[in-house]
């Protein structure tokens, strides 16, 4: 059996569309997840028992669920509740956002705790409020400390977007599968998919390592 | 200006302040000294509400610090504080450090705040470092920036919490000089420090603390002449010994 990698070039536009969707989902879910995660982390550290408990429950709950199950809820169960379909894209996006927020919030909590209490005291001592101290002093330093870990989690998220085939979304992985089946070129296409994921994720990891080196100084 | 009356404070079941009372009048410089763990840093942090206390009352310019109804942020904006570890914001330039609270708390414009910062930096001798980040400065320079940051708020009083304890010996004087100048200009100051040279030079009164209690609270000359308590005498003999 001869390999025919020409099939890849013929279907490049189709595959590129899939890759664009994978990136779009990753970026939107990461952005939404981080915003939600900051709120969760601040609730957890607020010192108010009720808020901390809600946040802890959220995090522990989502960390105990398989991601694919969360996607199914929004695709199959939520439409039953609200009476209309959510659609594949929004099901996936909401599921990823809620799911990633649980992981991000633990990273962000650690990041906030890595900023010394003296910095908070310094902010308060000049008359800044809690919110201002967080926004201008603590969070910028926390994000700087945790950027490498957040990016690493982002790489994991990018790989996880391949799960959206379950709701018939055409991400990169799904596009590859479609081409592979239609053209009968499973080996070539899955080797190609592996190469693409490897190049993207590995260069991401290298970048993270460079950032870490830079921040360590 | 600052009235401290019968302050008790516990960490859990450990009492760290016991019935502490003292005061700082307008324009007065009060030095608080004592062995480590005597509660002096805790006491000064109670003055601007960074540390809560369980009993007693502290008022600054008539405003009760411990009251639930007091807007602490508003009060703190009027009291400058300088920390042992400088606590400059490492992600901001020196100028941005001095401007942040001016803009966000006092509502000054960026231009106003920067002009104020420039004036204060020149006063503490650091004009050429305005665009640098704190990490590029020596400890003594960082602490002078921290003093400028506090002064930028036009405070009615300044609190110093061991401002020279984290400094290498050769940098202590550059910070003390700025503080002496401030004192001579009539700033109301409460200073936790072991620098007895500073106390001798500019303090009006010296408060000596031990084990969470104010053991002695005396005019400077009385304190250095004949401390009444054994504990203060022992402390002084220890720290003055190696000078």
The pTM is what? 0.84
Convert the pLDDT of each residue in B103-143 to its tens digit: 999 999 999 999 999 999 999 999 999 999 999 999 999 99
Q: Which residue is closest to B100 within chain A, CA to CA? A: A136
Residue A4 has pLDDT above 90, yes or no: no
Contact present, B163 and B84 (Cβ < 8 Å): yes
Q: Which residue is closest to A120 within chain B, CA to CA? A: B87
Domain ranges of chain A: 6-216
Query: Is residue A114 within 8 angstroms of chain B, CB to CB?
Result: no
Question: In terms of DSSP bridges, do strands B79-82 and B2-11 run parallel, antiparallel, or are they unpaired?
Answer: unpaired
Residue A93 has pLDDT above 60, yes or no: yes
Report the candidate in A75, A79, A139 with the shortest Cα–Cα distance to residue A109: A139
Contact present, B76 and A153 (Cβ < 8 Å): no
DSSP chain A: ----THHHHHTHHHHHHHHHHHHHHHHHHHHHHHHHHHHHHHHHTSS-HHHHHHHHHHHHHHHTS-HHHHHHIIIIIHHHHHSS---HHHHHHHHHHHHHHHHHHHHHHHHHHTS-HHHHHHHHHTT--HHHIIIIIIHHHHHHHHHHHHHHHHHHHHHHGGGGGGGT---HHHHHHHHHHHHT-HHHHHHHHHHHHHHHHHHHHHHHHHHHHHHH-
Q: For chain A, what percent of residues have pLDDT higher than 70?
A: 98
Q: Tokens standing for A168? A: 């018939």
Q: How confident is the model at residue A108 (pLDDT cuts 50, 70, 90)?
A: very high
Cβ–Cβ gap B50/A122 under 8 Å: no
Report the candidate in B140, B103, B108, B144 with the shortest Cα–Cα distance to residue B127: B144
Q: How confident is the model at residue B241 (pLDDT cuts 50, 70, 90)?
A: low
Q: Which residue is closest to B74 within chain A, CA to CA? A: A127
Q: For chain B, what percent of residues have pLDDT higher than 90?
A: 80
Residue range A135-157: mean pLDDT, rounded: 91
Smallest Cα distance from A119 to chain B, Å: 6
Cβ–Cβ gap A124/B101 under 8 Å: no
Alpha-carbon gap, residue A57 to A51, rounded angstroms: 10
pLDDT at position B148, please? 95
Q: Which residue is closest to B98 within chain A, CA to CA? A: A126
Question: Mutate which of B70, B74, B79, B91 to disrupt the A interface (most A C-beta within 10 Å)?
Answer: B91
Q: Which residue has tokens 């239609």?
A: A182
Question: Distance between terminal CA atoms of chain A?
Answer: 54
Q: How confident is the model at residue A78 (pLDDT cuts 50, 70, 90)?
A: confident
Cβ–Cβ gap A128/B104 under 8 Å: yes
pLDDT at position B242, please? 56
Residue range B148-157: mean pLDDT, rounded: 95
- Tell me the fold of A6-216: MetI-like fold (1.10.3720)
Which residues of chain B are within 8 Å of residue A140 when distances are taken between CB atoms? 91
Residue A187 has pLDDT above 60, yes or no: yes
Out of B50, B88, B90, the one facing A125 most closely (by C-beta) is: B50
Q: How confident is the model at residue A1 (pLDDT cuts 50, 70, 90)?
A: low
Q: Tokens standing for A182? A: 């239609």
pLDDT at position B190, please? 96
Smallest Cα distance from A209 to chain B, Å: 21
Out of A116, A122, A128, the one facing B105 most closely (by C-beta) is: A128
pLDDT at position A6, please? 78
Cβ–Cβ gap A136/B104 under 8 Å: yes
Provide the mean pLDDT of chain A: 90
What does each C-alpha distance from B51 to B18, B39, B58, B199 come to in angstroms?
Answer: 15, 12, 12, 25
pLDDT at position A212, please? 80
pLDDT at position B238, please? 80
Alpha-carbon gap, residue B135 to B94, rounded angstroms: 10
pLDDT at position B163, please? 94
Alpha-carbon gap, residue B79 to A125, rounded angstroms: 8
Cβ–Cβ gap B101/A127 under 8 Å: yes
Of A1-5, A81-85, B3-7, the least confident: A1-5
Contact present, B89 and A122 (Cβ < 8 Å): yes
Smallest Cα distance from B135 to chain A, Å: 11
Question: Mutate which of B84, B104, B143, B190 to disrupt the A interface (most A C-beta within 10 Å)?
Answer: B104
Smallest Cα distance from A124 to chain B, Å: 7
Q: Which residue is closest to B72 within chain A, CA to CA? A: A127
Which residues of chain B are within 8 Å of residue A136 when distances are taken between CB atoms? 89, 100, 104
Residue range B82-91: mean pLDDT, rounded: 94
The interface pTM score, or ipTM, of the predicted complex is 0.91
Contact present, A128 and A136 (Cβ < 8 Å): yes
Which residues of chain A are within 8 Å of residue B77 when distances are taken between CB atoms? 126-127
Convert the pLDDT of each residue in B11-50 to its tens digit: 989 999 999 999 999 999 999 999 888 999 999 999 999 9
Contact present, B150 and B159 (Cβ < 8 Å): no
Smallest Cα distance from B157 to chain A, Å: 12
| Exposure string over A104-143, b if 16+ CB within 10 A, otherwise e | bbbbbbebbeebeeebbbbbbbbbbbeebbbebbbbbbbb
Out of B85, B90, B153, the one facing A126 most closely (by C-beta) is: B153
Give phi and psi for B168, each to the nearest 5. Answer: -65, 150
Q: How confident is the model at residue A83 (pLDDT cuts 50, 70, 90)?
A: confident
Residue B67 has pLDDT above 60, yes or no: yes
Contact present, B53 and B17 (Cβ < 8 Å): yes
Cβ–Cβ gap B101/A137 under 8 Å: no
Cβ–Cβ gap A119/B50 under 8 Å: no
Residue range A139-158: mean pLDDT, rounded: 91
Query: Is residue A141 within 8 angstroms of chain B, CB to CB?
Result: yes
Provide the mean pLDDT of chain B: 92
Residue A106 has pLDDT above 80, yes or no: yes
- Nearest 5°: the CA angle B83, B89, B91 is 160
Residue B202 has pLDDT above 60, yes or no: yes
Give the dihedral sign, CA A31/A32/A37/A38. positive
pLDDT at position A5, please? 75
Alpha-carbon gap, residue B15 to B211, rounded angstroms: 9
Query: Is residue A143 within 8 angstroms of chain B, CB to CB?
Result: no
């Amino acid at each position: 059996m001869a390999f025919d990698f020409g099939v890849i070039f013929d279907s490049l536009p189709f595959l590129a569309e899939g890759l664009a969707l994978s990136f779009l989902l990753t970026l939107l879910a990461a952005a939404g997840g981080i915003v939600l995660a900051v709120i969760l982390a601040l609730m957890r550290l607020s010192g108010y028992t009720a808020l901390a408990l809600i946040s802890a429950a959220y995090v522990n709950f989502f960390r105990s669920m398989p991601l694919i199950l969360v996607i199914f809820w929004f695709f199959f169960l939520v439409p039953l509740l609200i009476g209309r379909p959510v659609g594949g894209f929004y099901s996936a996006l909401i599921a990823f956002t809620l799911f990633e927020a649980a992981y991000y919030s633990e990273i962000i909590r650690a990041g906030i705790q890595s900023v010394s209490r003296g910095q908070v005291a310094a902010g308060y001592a000049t008359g800044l409020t809690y919110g201002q101290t967080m926004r201008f002093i603590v969070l910028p330093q926390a994000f700087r400390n945790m950027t490498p870990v957040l990016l690493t989690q982002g790489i994991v998220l990018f790989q996880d977007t391949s799960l959206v085939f379950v709701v018939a979304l055409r991400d990169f992985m799904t596009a590859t599968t479609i081409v592979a089946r239609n053209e009968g070129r499973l080996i070539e296409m899955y080797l190609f998919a592996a190469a693409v994921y490897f190049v993207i994720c590995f260069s991401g990891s290298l970048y993270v390592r460079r950032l870490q080196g830079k921040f360590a100084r | 200006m600052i009235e401290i009356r019968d302050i008790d404070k516990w960490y859990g079941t450990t009492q760290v302040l016991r019935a502490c009372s003292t005061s700082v009048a307008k324009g007065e410089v009060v030095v608080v000294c004592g062995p480590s763990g005597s509660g002096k840093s805790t006491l000064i942090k109670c003055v601007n509400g960074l540390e809560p206390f369980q009993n007693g009352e502290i008022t600054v310019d008539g405003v009760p610090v411990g009251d639930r109804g007091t807007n602490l942020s508003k009060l703190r904006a009027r009291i400058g504080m300088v920390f042992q570890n400088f606590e400059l914001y490492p992600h901001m330039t020196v100028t941005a450090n001095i401007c942040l609270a001016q803009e966000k708390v006092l509502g000054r414009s960026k231009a106003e705040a920067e002009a104020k910062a420039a004036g204060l930096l020149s006063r503490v001798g650091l004009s050429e470092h305005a665009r640098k980040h704190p990490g590029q400065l020596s400890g003594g320079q960082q602490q002078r920036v921290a003093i400028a940051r506090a002064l930028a708020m036009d405070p009615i009083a300044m609190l110093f919490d061991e401002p020279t304890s984290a400094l290498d010996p050769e940098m202590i004087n550059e910070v003390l000089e700025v503080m002496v100048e401030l004192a001579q200009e009539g700033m109301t100051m409460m200073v936790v420090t072991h620098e007895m040279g500073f106390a001798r030079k500019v303090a009006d009164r010296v408060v000596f603390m031990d084990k969470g209690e104010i053991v002695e609270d005396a005019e400077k000359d009385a304190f250095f002449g004949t401390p009444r308590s054994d504990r203060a005498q022992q402390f002084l003999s220890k720290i003055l010994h190696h000078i």
